[in-house]
Structure 1
Amino acid sequence: MLIDSISSSENIVAFTGAGVSTESGIPDFRSSEGIFQMDGEGFPPEVILSRTFFDQYPEKFFEFYKKFMVYRDVKPNRCHIALAKLEEAGKIRAVVTQNIDNLHTEAGSKNVVELHGNANKNYCMKCNKKYGAEYVLNSPSVPKCDSCNGTVRPDVVLYEEMLDEEKLYRAKWYIRDADMVIVIGTSLVVYPAAKLIKYFEGDKLVIINMTDTPFDSTAMLQIRQKAGYVMWKVAEALT
């Protein structure tokens, strides 16, 4: 049914979350082995990853961030590659992702909306000079700009910060205009990103996730299997 539905669609949006990248070795957030279970030296991870904590305790923020949020040796898995192949074949119009790992782009997807930013990108808060991930990872403590000595921060959305309005607009437009939306590897509980699914006006909503989501009752199809296996089979059949 999934392959037939994709085959008959021409304007598909993939909406992806952490479950897409677990097969690459990146932990998700809410499972028993997820980010929210990591040791934050007495602070919950969702507190450490907030703007307030970043401003008040930058040393502790970067210690946690560099240890648990940036993965330099990971590679795209079968799901990332399959989505890129489907885009090349003219099926996937855009990937809207909650992930910050850059793996969709590394796999070859061209039209990616990174709602929560990109951990490979960093910038000086004072002069806006751009830096890659290695600069932050190789800094002994809080990374400082080599031009103005301002603090270099990740270009990601922290808790208490607003999503980028331009990215939100693009995501809404793609989803509203789609004839099919495939939700992959997300529990759809992180707002405001999750509510973007409400903008979909079609009847081809597919959810590929290992656990239940609040949108299951409105989905045409629910698949409780690993994203890499499912999407690779689709790409094999259609590309």
Structure 2
Amino acid sequence: MSCNYAEGLSEYEDKGVLGLPEKFEATDKVGEKCLLLSKWIKEAKHVVVHTGAGISTASGIPDFRGPNGVWTLEKQGLKPEINVSFNEAIPTKTHMALKHLVEKELVHYIISQNIDGLHLRTGLPRTHLAELHGNMFIGQCDTCDSQFVRTTATSTVGQKYLGEFCKREVRGRSCRGKLKDTILDWEADLPENDLEMSDYHSSLADLNICLGTTLQIVPSGNLPLRCKKYGGKLVIVNLQSTKHDKKADLIINSYVDVVLEQVMKNLNLEIPEYCKLSDPTKNQLPISVVEWNISKSQIKILRKKFEAKQKDFREKKKLEAKDIKCNGVKRKRLLEKSSVLKKINKNIDVEDLPLEERLRMYKNS
């Protein structure tokens, strides 16, 4: 069962704010906001979606900090009533909609805090997905760091050995490494490649959309704010208040499936059905090997784009500072001329004259 994941983690006291009340906006209000969000998606050049546990509850996997979340109920000595196994769960409408939006190049990257593997199981390519907290369907080599898709969810968490060997071939022979699960325990370091890609994409985005997350876990929860420095927008879709509500340009309090259904309708797109043939965990031959790696070349390309954006931003700030300084000097000179003219034109209060007239007088003086 999916709750076994939580039970496999080490003891940890500070699990964030738990059990905040859920808020539901009126249907017409949600509709208006979905129209605005659809407009922003169409206008944006780089859209990044950040997903949390709230997008998977419709598949039967409980969230963590909701009124009936794993951590919330744990504090009361209880467990969620609804609890589907990771192997039995299938992608929700939100998962399938996001995969289709990536295919249509309306969403350019997805950054997930979820370990359930449902983004992977839609058929979403690794080139468009970062998994910051791991994936129950992935094994990683302890020697070469290569990742591989498994046909079943791991029975361990906390980066423990799976009893399997690396499937990567190096110069005609297999790597001698052993596979571990990729699920992070509390305070473990985030995967370097996933975090680097997430940081770059979040900064390059002119629109960061957060779905089903309270944004409490750091650094994952702070990534959506990266775009604000460069003038980007932040949208939050969640039933509970989040850590960054005050910084959001748009907040929608509704089920993520409801919002994605309306957004897809506004964009004249249909949400595809889940298909086992597109699921790499279900469509593997006995001898097939499905790798799940972020390429170094992909990181390098994105790094260059990010550095170029930083450079443009710094140059823009320098020009703005220069303009402010120049305007200050010009104003000082105008005030000095105004003082001279007041002495020349004793009967005229120069400051009361229109700007155009003052400039004409200054030039003639």
TM-score computed with the length of structure 1 as normaliser: 0.76
| Residue number in structure 2 paired with 1:216 | 245
Q: Is the 8 A contact 2:205 2:232 kept in 1?
A: no
Closer/same/farther in 2, CA of residues 217 and 131 from structure 1, 3 Å limit: closer
Secondary structure of the structure 2 residue equivalent to 1:4: helix
How many aligned residue pairs are there?
211
Q: 1: CA distance between counterparts of 2:216 and 2:154?
A: 30
| Deviation (angstroms), 1:188 | 0.5
| Counterpart for residue 122 of structure 1 | 139
SS in 1 for 2:109: strand
Select the residue among 189, 192, 214 that pairs with 2:216. Answer: 189
Q: Which moves more between the two structures, 75-84 or 196-205?
A: 196-205
Aligned residue type for 2:71: F
Of 161-170 and 91-100, more deviation after overlay is shown by 161-170
Greater RCO (CA < 8 Å, at least 6 residues apart): 1
Q: Is the 8 A contact 1:205 1:220 kept in 2?
A: yes
Q: Which residue of 1 aligns with 2:152?
A: 134
Unaligned segments of structure 2, at least 5 residues = 1-35, 166-176, 270-365
The residue identity in structure 1 corresponding to 2:62 is P
Shift of 1:131: 7.7
Partner of 1:56 in structure 2? none
Contact 1:113 1:167 in 2 (8 A): yes
CA 231–151 in structure 1, closer or farther in 2 if over 3 Å, else same = same
2:48/2:205 contact within 8 Å kept: yes
- What displacement does 1:228 show? 0.8
* Compared CA separation, residues 75 and 127, structure 1 to 2 (3 A): same
Deviates more, 1:175-184 or 1:105-114: 105-114
Match among 169, 178, 198 for residue 225 of structure 2: 198
Alignment map for 1:152-167 (pairs within 5 Å): 153-167=180-194
Match of 2:41 in 1: 6
Offset, 1:107: 2.0
- Does structure 2 retain, via aligned residues, the 8 Å contact 1:85–1:235? no
CA RMSD of aligned residues (A): 3.2
SS of residue in 2 equivalent to 1:160 = coil
Change (3 A) 1:136 1:21: closer
Does residue 236 (structure 1) correspond to residue 265 (structure 2)? The answer is yes
Question: Which residue does 1:76 correspond to in 2?
Answer: 91
Which residue number in structure 1 is paired with residue 199 of structure 2? 172
Post-superposition Cα deviations, 1:14-56, rounded to whole Å, max 9, x if no partner, equal 011000111111111112322225669x8x99xxxxxxxxxxx
Q: Which amino acid aligns with 2:51?
A: T
Aligned to 2:107: 92
Cα distance 1:237–1:18, how it changes in 2: closer, same or farther (>3 A)? same
Kept in 2, the 8 Å contact 1:13–1:174? The answer is yes
3-state SS of 2:254 partner: coil
Matching residue's letter, 1:109: L
What SS is found at the alignment partner of 1:14?
Answer: strand
Q: Which of the two has higher C-alpha Rg? A: 2
Alignment equivalent of 1:145, drawn from 159, 163, 169? 163
Q: Distance in 1 between matches of 2:67 and 2:241?
A: 16
| 15, 36, 50: which one aligns with 1:15 | 50
